[in-house]
Amino acid sequence: MMNYNQKELEALAMIQPVQVTKKNVDVDALIYRGHVLRSEYMSNGVASFYKKVVGNFAKRQQIAAAKRSLHAMSNRELDDLGITRSEIDYAVEGNMDAKSAPSFWATVKAKIAHAQKARAGYAQLMAMDTRQLADIGLVKGDIEAAVHGNTAFLANDNLAHASNNNEHRHAV
């Protein structure tokens, strides 16, 4: 049996107020209620700690499995996913804050790839004749702007779609 001082008894009385009649307080009921509440608090604390530990363990197991499966992929498969081997940890754990900005080499690689695509597109459009360009709504002066996505600077301000169905001609 535990002994309580006056301050602890007052704190217990605040938990669940009791009816006082004839200056008699059921101290045993208050003490029992305190024991029950303390037991509930401790069991809830232990249960939440257990759930947290088990949850963290399961999460780490999932992360490890995902990393293993990504490391088992070829470089080409990883490239299809848009990551490199050095980025697997960041991609799986979702910790992109540590690597929020792309690396210097990734930026250079992206700019080179964009320039190559733009150059190839420019060459293909320049190889087209005027009629072919008109079919897609361009003129020779529009090719540079079209390749770089600057549609506001197109030389051809005729935005009507090309039509070769000759609706305006009728047999007489």
Divide the 172 residues of the chain into consecutive groups of 10 and give the mean pLDDT of each group: 66 63 68 88 91 89 90 87 84 65 79 90 90 86 81 59 57 54
Q: pTM of the full predicted structure?
A: 0.34
> Are both 136 and 117 inside the same structural domain?
yes
- Give all strands (DSSP E) within 19-83, no chain letters: none
Cβ contact 155:139 at 8 Å = yes
> Are both 94 and 116 inside the same structural domain?
no
Q: How many Å apart are CA 68 and CA 115, to the nearest integer? A: 35
Q: Which of 45, 69, 100 is the last residue of a domain?
A: 100
pLDDT at 156: 58
> Are both 83 and 155 inside the same structural domain?
no
Q: Which of 85, 100, 115 is the last residue of a domain?
A: 100
> Are both 170 and 108 inside the same structural domain?
yes
Instruction: From residue 32, give the alpha-carbon distance in Å to each of 1, 44, 97, 159.
Output: 11, 18, 51, 85
> Are both 21 and 90 inside the same structural domain?
yes
> Are both 32 and 112 inside the same structural domain?
no
Q: How many Å apart are CA 105 and CA 68, to the nearest integer? A: 26
> Are both 106 and 69 inside the same structural domain?
no
> Are both 22 and 70 inside the same structural domain?
yes
Q: How many Å apart are CA 171 and CA 169, to the nearest integer? A: 7
> Are both 74 and 5 inside the same structural domain?
yes
Cβ contact 118:148 at 8 Å = yes
Range(s) of the domain holding residue 167: 102-172
Q: What is the longest distance spanned by two Cα atoms in the chain?
A: 119
Q: Which of 54, 71, 100 is the last residue of a domain?
A: 100
pLDDT at 169: 59
**How many domains does the chain divide into?**
2
> Are both 85 and 1 inside the same structural domain?
yes
> Are both 139 and 96 inside the same structural domain?
no
> Are both 66 and 141 inside the same structural domain?
no
